[in-house]
Structure 1
Amino acid sequence: MISTRLYHFLLSILCLLSFSAISQPSGKAALKLWYDKPAANWNEALPIGNGRIGAMVFGTPAREQMQLNEETVWAGEPGNNINENLNSALPEIRKLIFEGKYKEAQALALEKVPRQAPANLNYGMPYQPVGDLYISFPGHDAATAYYRDLNIEQATAAVSYKVDGVTFKREMLSSFPDNVIIIRLTADKPRSISCKLSMDSPHLKYEVATKQNQLVLSGTSGDVDNKKGKVKFQAQVQPVVKGGKISTEGKTLHITGADEATIYVSMATNFKNYKDLSGNEAEKAAQFLAAATKRKYKKAREEHIKSYRKYFDRVSLDLGVTDAVQKPTDERLAAFASGNDPHLAALYFQFGRYLLISSSQPGTQPANLQGIWNDKVSPPWDSKYTVNINTEMNYWPAEVTNLPEMHQPLFAMVKDLSETGRESARKMYNARGWNMHHNTDLWRMTGPIDGAFYGLWPMGGAWLTQHIWQHYLFTGDKDFLKEMYPILKGAATFYADVLQEEPEHKWLVVVPSMSPENKHQSDVSIAAGTTMDNQLVFDVFSNIINASKALNTDKAFADSLKSMRDRLPPMQVGQHGQLQEWMQDWDKTGDKHRHVSHLYGLYPSNQISPFSYPELFDAARTSLVYRGDKSTGWSMGWKVNLWARLLDGNRAYKLIQDQLTPAGDAAKGEGGGTYPNLFDAHPPFQIDGNFGCTSGIAEMLLQSHDGTLHLLPALPDAWQTGEVKGLVARGGFTVDMSWENGKVKTLTVHSKLGGNCRIRTSEQLKLAGKGEFKTAAGANTNPFYQQAAIKEPVVKATSNQPKTDIREQLMFDLETTQGKTYKLVL
């Protein structure tokens, strides 16, 4: 007799071999999430997607459930949510704030922008599901030898089990080239495939019908607040069988006695763009379906994997493999914090890349709070685009992990917002340009949501536009920068118009505003000149100044912004040795708020450097220590990046351990952690924590924001030996690197753009081959490596502030030629 554990391990190996069409590299574990039991709930189901459509796969033997999503199924209809009542009250609100009468200012702001949406407005529409496809298999309740997985090297999900000596297999994929979901059913005994197909939906307005051996679900999205649901959607399901027959019975399809069956699921809506719902959902779905069913499954699968792998295979990460890989993924997750499983960290890193590829393809909508995977008509936080951190975090991995194309949906949305945001700028602030607040949806709303307490933060556009500038820094694409320059200029113009002179120091500040979702006194959030606002405006102005120079245009406007930038408040170190969150020294050492907004300047921006202003660097560290580690999932994901930027690899790794802790069954709260399917938990599920940890792991291995390409800046003791290939640094450098005993062993740099590559490292490297490599001197001549020209900080208290111990570093300059590759060794 063999043990149950050994039995499942041997079974998993057999299944890995069975389902893998592409051989594994020698000595490396597969990049698969695998389990020895079906999903008991949605947070155990496995996600597949092609950017536009997705499904959650449950894998139950007797009744497979495929929970379906299409990216444009949202409640409501076109229209913005501009609250013009704020405009007339702005002067008085600003006056009260500058007089220190914050409670009175907030009361007036809430009167004009209440927490509950007025009858003529709304606070955004929810993202909604299509419905569910069920495939019922009579007699499969007593299945044995069960196995299921998600192969993130191929973007396929699989299920295998036995019933009465017959092995049944399912494979599911959301095809990138065919734009449909495909489900393949096979058995090792002829004529064994018999099942019933049915559908339903949580929507109030839907119907299911059968038509010519097709199952069709049609519906309309929901009504919310003052908006009528006007998104029409349709899902068309068509099986193709070998042997056996297909029949209809009422609202179900029956497959009887087939050797194998391939089920195609096509979904579409009437959505064309944020102001046009004139599409024909039935025709679009039918077109996708007709094209897909013409192709043989083997070919469709091959083309799907090829299409996916052209993105996924750009980056590999090897942190080592232990016996922990023999366990199912949920058991690995439960043991991670106390065990030795470096491969799970690498798997989690790559899972984030898988999710981004699968939820944000060129030409699709950007990934929302849940990517594209949502089973509720009223999901948590409406599954919208929350742009005071969460949407931006979704795209932190895009450039550094070599997925720049995945950024395109975000840029398309920012273009839309620069149109709708002109209305909020003009009608709410009497300003030119464009702006938005902390949330948006499919309809590209730009007014405040959730009232003045959370929503009166006019900085969403400022943060989103940073992704435009960062994409340029990574790619050097001047055509892209020229195309997007009017959007950058529109954001800068808004702040040039709305900045106000505060009375004490004569600094120019945004007012009214807040430090996102935090409060500086009991139930009071409204403020002026918060640290994050100042940092964001600094970056908005700096981007135009630098873009104007790169494009040789608009010098007068850039010069005007330089003058205004000089009058922004400096960052300040407060009484506790902390980086102040507000213009006043209001911070409390016991504040454990999930948002660490004032640390935007540390990450994702580059305004806080240990080499330029170490006192700011130490103050940022002090603030992060005060906030603590455990928090919501996305907050811990952000903190991985922050500790990486603080050059503390062990603390960053500790946050990864906290994140890779089972989330439990809580439906809401701020406990963080990870669900069995590796989805991030706020709780409940938010996908930004996945993306935040992926970018954080990249930041631990490579940084390029502070004037140099910094190798292994935050390597934890747990990863003393490893290899990464394909990470991207600013200036168009692609980096392959191996290390042993914590030291770089080999480094390969491919230069897409040419120019100086300044390398910061702890090791004395030497060039293997031709090239010019020398000790760095003077300023970096590479224009993509400019350091932030911040103002001298105001330091109020440093006596008790701990100093960060920075390892001694060496800097070298490698002169590169466009298109050439360079290898360095220890």
Structure 2
Amino acid sequence: MKKILVLMMVLGNSALAQQSPLTLWYAKPAVRWEEALPVGNGRLGAMVYGRTGQEILQVNEESVWAGVKFNDGNADAGKYLDTIRRLIFENHNAEAFALADKFFLATDGGNPPRPARSFRSNQTLMNVNIDYGFEDAEAYRRSLELNSGVALTTFTVNGVDYKQEVIASNPDNIIAVHISASKPGALNAVIFLSRPNPRDTSEKLRDCKVIAAGRQLVLDGQIIDRNGKENKGPEGAHMRFAGIVQVTPSGGTAVAKNGVITVKGAGAMTLYIQGATNYNAVKQDLDPGATVAMAKCRRLLTAASAKTYAAIKAKHIADFSPIMQRVSLDLGTSINASLPTNERLAAVKKGEEDVDLTELYFQYGRYLLLSSSRGPGVLPANLQGIWNQHLDAPWNADFHTNINLQMNYWPAEVTNLSLTTAPLFDFMDRIRPEGRITAKKMYNARGWVVHHCTDAFGKTGVQNGVGWGTFPMGASWMCLHFWEHFAFTLDYKFLREKAYPIMKEHAEFVEDFLVKSPEGYLVTSPASSPENQFVHPVTGKPTGLTYGPTMDNQILREFLSKCVAAAQALRTDSADVARWEAIIKQLPPTRIGKDGRILEWIEEYPEVEPGHRHISHLFGLHPGTEITEQTPSLFEGAMRTLTGRLAQGGGHTGWSRAWIINFYARLKQADSVYNHMQALLAKSTLPNLFDNHPPFQIDGNFGGTAGIAEALIQSHGAYVELLPALPAQWHTGKVTGLCVRGGFEMDLAWADGKLTAINLRSTTGRNLVLKYGQHLLPLSVERGKSVNVPVDQLL
């Protein structure tokens, strides 16, 4: 109520009717892509510029990927594995690196196979251009309403009011645009499609063509893969893609000619935008046939375009809004709440506070995850979610499994978006056949493996160089997300049929991959601490290839412990449990260095980059559970580690800053949670609130949302801790709908920094223990019941 009163005083009643607390809005059109606003339905995404001259809707279909399917595991790796391990153990890291660089890197699957230094990129589908032709407009406003998923642009020209709405409907599997004018016959526009040219513009062979027929614009294309200086796999004509825009005017005329559709004298018009490829998600491969993509595109378009825009919009909102409204967050009111979003962000960059913007950022992360990861989509959210304007995107807009893909899903369970994990779990399940081949070829191991990144075709080999890519623990970490889904939902069917088989099979790889170290531990080798290097004690030169780095040990302890818990929950595999428990006891412990910091590697090596963006050796603090207040020396060591990294410039990328927020939430450092949330906004957030790595990379958005939730509620231990890291600046507020492990939803309210109300809903009927400050309260709640917990019992 307080927020509404403040907005009424600032805006007046008429403005309030247009302004929602969960709205990104701007007083000017987007000049660049990073200012455009995203919509998505899990499969299709669009960036809306909101221009009054030539409007641009940059459109993605999730599966538009360059490249083809082949197993990229290096078949020669197994021949040299023991030699590489021996060299590493004997401190001959440079020699080991040279051997691994020659025989461990991914190959292109040819005969004989050639080194393929990286795979190819996710690609944009097309731009839908709407030329309104207006140079000057009044009363301009563009916005994105998070609860409804509607991108709205309004403006006035010559006394006529124009309104453009864009939605990405999940139920109807379509992007729909509705444009209207307040005066009959006042809407005129030219609609055409475009797509970036391939880099090699000297080639006469273009990758697509556009035709206009009837009231449709049809883009028909095929990705032509070529190699430049680096071999990125087989060349040739590969994935086929199609895009169609159908224009349905109300009044006036729509004429197709020379690749454009010209609309004249209409009162309104609807654009139905569809896209498809010949990607087969189950096979992670391409279906043969020149017309597969186009036929799919036409089929999907026909089904949706038979409906009116009003019907599509109503169904879209009825689907989207209830999911977004599962969680609400109120952190107070800011004096800048009435300003355009970019102006609010600019004020934060100058040092001003805006708790409303933090709320908006939190819900924006939920919005982005819901919009980029759900059926009918079949792929998980990639490094850019589902929004990519490039043919060759930064880092290929791929799936990085050395933190980034995992971070994308950190907010999924806790912020009541469990449904978004389905594409991730299906994708990891389908990657196993390639992972089995790679495990056997490279390590002579059972089970399955994936290294530090993969693509839509399920590559599992070592990509982008030995120093970056030697991270077989990517699979172990990904398996933990299966356990987390079970921990939050207690869905035993999911655990039995989906999660445990995947976890158990990867545990087979772990058993075969681990090797005895000179110290007598079971260790990973060859290995790396993601993307970081140390100064070699003998040569004095940088190296990253090593054995038994701290992150690997922490991941394995977490993973194998969850395998044990899963087997025990299902009352199966007692022999496997005994074997896994024995392995856990032989892993190197997390150790503290001379300066009190946690060691990143097996020995206390000097750091090449003391402020490195990856803080991998704190995995055990977050998202792991090894480092807690019950391990005081490690807890203090984690604090010192963070302080040391930050003093050397750490946290300089968006996702790294987001991880730091989660670290400090686990350390119960409320002031640091707030300061780094401010830094995330001030230093790593673009005008449309996208995370800035730089450039744009969406994991910071998801990690930031997760960090805010982590400050409000934690359930990774033996109890559910309430407001564990509440910043003083969030002194009065309320959150509803957060989920905790064990199958509970919780609402919390607080005033002047003190807890004032708790509502608890159980979906499983399990017991739990609440913790607030130093007070514990055991509770038993029946399945399906909701209870208000007396706060005085926790004071």
On the 8 A contact 1:272/1:278 being kept in 2, the answer is no
Superposed, 1:74-89 pairs within 5 Å as 74-89=65-80
* 1:657 is aligned to 2:678: yes
Q: Does 1:439 align with 2:453?
A: yes
- Aligned equivalent of 1:56, options 47, 54, 59: 47
Residue 306 of structure 1: how far off its partner (Å):
1.0
Tell me the residue number matched to 2:390: 376
Residue 314 of structure 2, aligned match among 298, 302, 308: 302
SS in 1 for 2:586: coil
- Of 554, 577, 583, which aligns to 1:564? 583
1:817 has 2:782 as partner? yes
Amino acid aligned to 1:554: D
Contact 1:315 1:727 in 2 (8 A): yes
Pairing partner for 1:701 from 712, 731, 739: 712
Q: Which moved more, 1:592-601 or 1:453-462?
A: 453-462
CA-to-aligned-CA distance 1:688-733 (integer Å, 9 cap, x gap): 0000000000000000011110000000011010000000000011
How far the C-alpha of 1:80 sits from its partner, in A, is: 2.1
Work out whether residues 105 and 117 of structure 2, in 8 Å CA contact, stay in contact via their aligned partners in 1. no
C-alpha displacement at 1:587, in angstroms? 5.0
The aligned amino acid for 1:53 is L
Indicate if the aligned counterparts of 1:115 and 1:453 stay in contact, CA closer than 8 A.
no
Q: Secondary structure at the match of 2:759?
A: strand
**Residue 628 of structure 2 contacts residue 635 of structure 2 at CA under 8 Å; is this kept in 1?**
yes
Matches of 2:573 and 2:610, distance apart in 1? 44
Q: Does the CA-based 8 Å contact 1:418-1:490 persist in structure 2?
A: no
User: SS at the partner of 2:633?
Assistant: helix
1:244-289 alpha-carbon deviations (Å, 9 max, x no partner): 1111121100111001111111111111221342472122211222
Q: Is the 8 A contact 2:239 2:286 kept in 1?
A: no
Matches within 5 A, 1:179-578: 179-203=173-197, 204-224=206-226, 225-227=232-234, 228-273=236-281, 274-278=284-288, 280-337=292-349, 338-364=351-377, 365-484=379-498, 485-504=500-519, 506-521=520-535, 522-578=541-597
Contact 2:73/2:105 (<8 A) preserved: no
Please state how far the C-alpha of 1:16 moved relative to its aligned partner.
6.5
Q: 2-side partners of 1:229 and 1:730: how far apart? A: 48
Code of the aligned partner of 2:314: E
The structural deviation recorded for 1:233 is: 1.0
Residues in 1 aligned to 2:166 and 2:667: alpha-carbon distance in whole angstroms = 42
Aligned to 1:648: 669
Q: More deviation in 618-627 or 107-116?
A: 107-116
Question: 3-state SS of the aligned residue for 1:812?
Answer: strand
The answer to which of 100-109 and 341-350 deviates more is: 100-109
- Alignment correspondent of 2:6: none
Choose from 120, 125, 134 the match for 1:130.
125
Contact 1:182 1:265 in 2 (8 A): yes
Q: Identify unmatched segments of 5+ residues in structure 2.
A: 1-8, 198-205, 227-231, 536-540
Deviations 1:553-578 (A, max 9, x none): 11111111111111111110111100
Q: Which amino acid aligns with 1:727?
A: L
> For 1:731-783, what per-residue CA distance to the aligned partner results, in whole angstroms no more than 9, with x for missing partners?
01100010011111000011111222101103xxxxxxxxxxxxxxxxxxxxx
| 1:12-36 CA-partner distances (Å, limit 9, x unpaired) | 9757636x8xxxxxxxx52011000
Cα distance in 2 for partners of 1:363, 1:170 equals 25
How far off its partner does 1:10 sit?
8.7
Q: How far apart are the structure 2 equivalents of 1:815 and 1:458?
A: 41
Partner SS, residue 25 of structure 2: strand
> 1:370 and 1:13, CA in 2 relative to 1: closer, same or farther beyond 3 A?
farther
Alignment partner of 1:757 is 2:776: no
Q: For 1:590 and 1:87, how far apart are their aligned partners in 2?
A: 32
Between the aligned partners of 2:67 and 2:359, the Cα distance in structure 1 is 40
Change over 3 Å in CA distance of 1:278–1:93 after alignment to 2: same
Post-superposition offset of 1:645:
0.5
1:720 aligns with 2:728: no
Does residue 1:619 correspond to 2:637, yes or no? Answer: yes
Q: Name the aligned partner's letter for residue 276 of structure 2.
A: A
Structure 2 counterpart SS, 1:553: coil
**Pick from 98, 110, 114: which aligns with 1:119?**
114
How many residues are paired up?
753
Distance 1:709 1:572, change over 3 A: same
1:45 aligns with 2:36: yes
Q: Measure, in 2, the Cα distance between the counterparts of 1:285 and 1:210.
A: 16
Classify the secondary structure of the residue corresponding to 1:210.
strand
- For 2:609 and 2:130, locate their aligned partners in 1 and report how far apart those are by CA, in whole Å: 52
Instruction: Write the deviation string for residues 293-337 of structure 1: whole angstroms up to 9, x where unpaired.
Output: 222222211110111123111100011122211111011011125
The residue type equivalent to 1:357 in the other structure is L
Aligned-partner residue type, residue 465 of structure 1? C
Determine which of 680, 686, 703 is the counterpart of 1:675.
686
State the Cα deviation string for residues 197-254 of structure 1 (Å, max 9, x = none): 0111115401010112111111112415333342111111111111111111211001
Cα distance in 1 for residues equivalent to 2:95 and 2:392: 34
Distance 1:615 1:172 in 2: 53
Distance 1:115 1:77 in 2: 14
Moved more, 125-134 or 580-589: 580-589
8 Å CA contact retained: 1:15, 1:160: no
Q: What are the equivalent positions in structure 2 for 1:30-41 lying under 5 Å apart? A: 30-41=21-32
Give the letter for the 1:262 counterpart. T
Give the counterpart letter for 1:736 in structure 2.
D
Q: Give yes or no for contact 1:45–1:58 (8 Å, CA) kept in 2.
A: yes
- Partner of 1:221: helix, strand, or coil? strand
Distance in 2 separating the partners of 1:216 and 1:363:
22
CA RMSD of aligned residues (A): 2.0
Report runs of 4+ in structure 1 exceeding 6 Å deviation: 9-13, 115-118
Q: How many Å separate the matches in 2 of 1:403 and 1:362?
A: 13
Secondary structure (helix, strand or coil) at the match of 1:88 reads: helix
Contact 1:630–1:658 (8 Å) recurs in 2: no
Match of 2:145 among 145, 151, 154: 151
Structure 1 stretch 203-212 or stretch 615-624: which is displaced more?
203-212
Q: What SS does the aligned partner of 1:226 have?
A: coil
Give the letter for the 2:557 counterpart. Answer: F
3-state SS, counterpart of residue 345 of structure 1: helix
Q: Name the SS of the counterpart of 2:337 in structure 1.
A: helix
CA displacement 1:625-652 (0-9 Å, x = unmatched): 1111541000001111011001011101
Deviates more, 1:578-587 or 1:380-389: 578-587
8 Å contact kept, 2:659–2:704: yes
Equivalent pair of 2:372/2:381 in contact (CA under 8 Å): yes
CA distance in 1, matches of 2:177, 2:298: 18
Q: Which amino acid aligns with 1:344?
A: L
Change (3 A) 1:424 1:114: closer
Are the counterparts in 1 of residues 106 and 116 from structure 2 also a CA contact under 8 Å? Answer: no
The counterpart of 1:92, out of the listed 83, 98, 121, is 83
